[in-house]
Structure 1
Amino acid sequence: MQLSVLDRSRTRSGGSHADALRDTVEFARQAEALGYHRFWVSEHHGVPGVAGSAPTVLAAAIAGATSRIRVGTGGVMLPNHQPLVVAEQFGVLESLFPGRIDMGLGRSVGFTEPVRRALGHDKRDADEFGARLAELLSYFTGDAAVSGYPARGLRVPAFVLATGAGAEVAAAHGLPLVIAAVRGEEAMVRAVDGYRARFRPSAWADEPHVVVSSTVAVADTTEDAWRLLLPGAWSMAHSRTRGEFPPLIPPDEVLALDMTARERTYFEESLRGHVFGTPTEVAKALDGLVRRTGADEVLVTTSTYDRSAMLASYERLADLFTR
């Protein structure tokens, strides 16, 4: 089983957005040394606490700082961009770092209405994802009315990020699917089964390829692994009640918070569905997840305050599956 990394360039208490970006580049070097297959970065606009607003720019910095690991986006949100510009950006990346670039593409729009207005889009643009995706791919195949250099003639592996309907788009275009259990594992398994049943071979992929994305935390004890999840869970609860992600804070500070009933509900919801525990417990849980979904790959994300503990978690995970 292949293991890959998704990093969101989260800020930490006492640190800046610049620190978060530099941490991401250094983390990519470490992930490469641990043997991970891919290192992807995300796209967020106007979200305090998240520095990753320009994934192709950050991917270029990461690719320049590494030598073997595949580098990509998880993902570029296609409704926010003109497909030609996206094709040109990935064409430049592939030309500079041949054979190492991945093009992960999503259909989400801005986090809030003011952000969507600033981007010049609204929620309805997500409905055009399939058409935008087809246009983007046409710049690489040379079928577009405009020659999108340097993308034309290149084959940058394309992936569709999905929670539900996006799986159908991936199948129709013959592209690999990246999916998380946002709506529960049963819904994810149904979406994966539907993707495989509807998959149409294309110039990009001969057969279905499924990447399951999951938050994973590994530590010496189950409790220590659970504590790694607390900063990210509180940040998510805060964002759902106040509209912004705060910098990640230590687990002890999270546990000391006097949360409102609404915050507590979101906090507890944010702790569900993750994979955490000792190496033995995590190995068993991931083996089960892969069996139930038939996944070809697992995309791991872990957002916590202590970077040393986070790296130790990734190192333990790598020891289980990649060495």
Structure 2
Amino acid sequence: MKLSVLDRSRVRAGHTHAEALRDTVAFARQVEQLGYHRFWVAEHHGVPGVAGAAPTVLAAAVAAATTRIRVGTGGVMLPNHQPLVVAEQFGVLESLFPGRVDMGLGRSVGFIKAVRRALGHDESDAAEFGAKLTELLGYFTGDRPVRGYPAHGLRVAPFVLATGAGAEVAAAHGLPLVIGGFRGEEAMLEAIAGYRAGFRPSVWAAEPHVVVSATVAVAGTADEAWRLLVPEAWAMAHARTRGEFPPLRAPEDVLATPMTDRERAAFEQALRGHLFGTPHEVGEALDALVARTGAAEVLVTTSTHDRDALLTSYRLLADLYR
């Protein structure tokens, strides 16, 4: 089983967005040494706690700082962009770093209405994802009236990041699927089954390929691993109750913070559904997840306040599958 990394350039309390971006580049070098297969960066706009607003730019910095690990996006949110521009950007990346570039594509739009308005889009634009994806891929295969240089003729590896309907789009286009259990495991398994049943072989993939995304925290004890999840869970709870996604705070600060009933419920909800524990416990849980999903790869996304503890978690996880 292959292990990969999705890093969202999370800002830590008391630090700057610039530091978060530099942390991402440094982290990519570290996980490359640990043997991870891919390193992907994300796209967020207008979010105080996330610095990754320009994924193709950040992917270029990561690729330049590494030598072997595959580098890509998890993902570029296609409804926010013109397909020709996206094709040109990935064409540049593939030209500079041949054979190492992944084009992960999603269908989400901005976090809040004001951000969507600033981007010039709204939630209805997500419905155009399939058409935009067809157009984007056509710039690589030459099936468009305009040639998108330097993308024309290149084969950048495309992936569809999906929940629900996005899996159908991936199947129809014959593309690898990246999916997480954000809507619950039952919904995820149904989407994977539908993807496999509806998959149409393409020039991009001859058969279905499933990558499961999961939040994973590993430490010497289950309690230590649970505490790694606390900063991100509080940020999610804060976003759901106050409408703003904040920088990550230390777990001891979060646990000492008085919470309203609504905040406590959102916090506890945000802690559910993740894999955490000792190496043995997490290894068993991951093996079971892969058995249930038939995934060829796990994309690990973990955010916490302590960077050293985060790296230790990824090291312990990598050691399980060497």
Per the shorter chain, which TM-score range? over 0.9
Could you tell me how far 1:252 is from its partner in structure 2?
A: 0.6
Tell me, which stretches of 5 or more residues in structure 1 are unaligned? Answer: none
Could you tell me how far 1:3 is from its partner in structure 2?
A: 0.2
Q: Could you say which residue in structure 2 is the equivalent of 1:195?
A: 195
Could you tell me how far 1:115 is from its partner in structure 2?
A: 0.5
Could you tell me how far 1:60 is from its partner in structure 2?
A: 0.2
Give runs of aligned pairs for residues 1-323 of structure 1, distance below 5 A.
Answer: 1-321=1-321, 323=322
Three-state SS of the structure 2 residue aligned to 1:56 is helix
Tell me how far apart the structure 1 counterparts of residues 120 and 157 of structure 2 sit (CA, whole Å).
28
1:72 corresponds to which letter in structure 2? G
Consecutive aligned runs of 4 or more in structure 1 exceeding 3 Å deviation? none
Could you tell me how far 1:246 is from its partner in structure 2?
A: 1.2
Three-state SS of the structure 2 residue aligned to 1:40 is strand
Q: Cα deviation per residue 1:99-141 (whole Å; 9 max; x = unaligned)?
A: 0000000000000111001101111100000000000000000
Tell me how far apart the structure 2 counterparts of residues 16 and 244 of structure 1 sit (CA, whole Å).
17
Tell me how far apart the structure 2 counterparts of residues 270 and 306 of structure 1 sit (CA, whole Å).
19
Q: Cα deviation per residue 1:220-242 (whole Å; 9 max; x = unaligned)?
A: 00000000000000000001112
Tell me how far apart the structure 1 counterparts of residues 214 and 5 of structure 2 sit (CA, whole Å).
10
Tell me how far apart the structure 2 counterparts of residues 29 and 259 of structure 1 sit (CA, whole Å).
38
Tell me how far apart the structure 1 counterparts of residues 318 and 162 of structure 2 sit (CA, whole Å).
26
Q: Cα deviation per residue 1:120-173 (whole Å; 9 max; x = unaligned)?
A: 111110000000000000000001010000000000000000010000000000
Identity over aligned pairs, percent: 77
Three-state SS of the structure 1 residue aligned to 2:266 is helix
Q: Cα deviation per residue 1:153-195 (whole Å; 9 max; x = unaligned)?
A: 0000000000100000000000000000011111101100110
Let me know the Cα RMSD of the aligned residues: 0.4
2:239 corresponds to which letter in structure 1? S
Could you tell me how far 1:267 is from its partner in structure 2?
A: 0.5
Tell me, which stretches of 5 or more residues in structure 2 are unaligned? Answer: none
Tell me how far apart the structure 2 counterparts of residues 57 and 241 of structure 1 sit (CA, whole Å).
32
Three-state SS of the structure 1 residue aligned to 2:215 is strand
Tell me how far apart the structure 2 counterparts of residues 289 and 179 of structure 1 sit (CA, whole Å).
12
